[in-house]
Chains A and B, each alone.
Chain A
Amino acid sequence: MIHIAINKKLHGASADMQLDVNFEIKDGDFVALSGKSGSGKTTLLRILAGLEEANGIIHVEEEIWLDNNICKAVQKREIGFVFQDYALFDNMSVLQNLLYVKKDLVLANHLLHVTELTELKDRSPSTLSGGQKQRVALCRAMMKRPKILLLDEPLSALDPVMRSKLQNEIIALHKEFKTTTIMVSHDPSEIYRLSNRVLVLEDGKIINDGSTKDVLLRTKGSQKFSFEGELLEIKKVDVIFIAIIAIGQQLVEVVVGEDETKNLNIGDVVNVSTKAFSPTITQ
Chain B
Amino acid sequence: MILYLARRILYAVPIALAVGFVCFMLVQIAPGDPINAIVPPDAPADVVEQVRRDYGLDKPLPVQFGLWLSKVVVGDLGRSLATGRPVWADLRSAIGNTLMLAICASGLGFVLGCILGGLAGTFRGSAIDRGATGLAVAGVSVPHYWLGMVMVVIFSVQLNWLPAMGAGPGGSSDWGWDWDHIRHLVLPTITLSVIPMGIVTRTVRGIVAEIMNQEFITALRGKGLTRLGIFRHVVKNAAPNALAVMGLQLGYLMGGSILVETVFSWPGTGLLLNSAIFQRDLPVLQGTILVLAMFFVALNLLVDLVQTALDPRIKRA
Is chain B found bound to chain A in the same assembly?
no
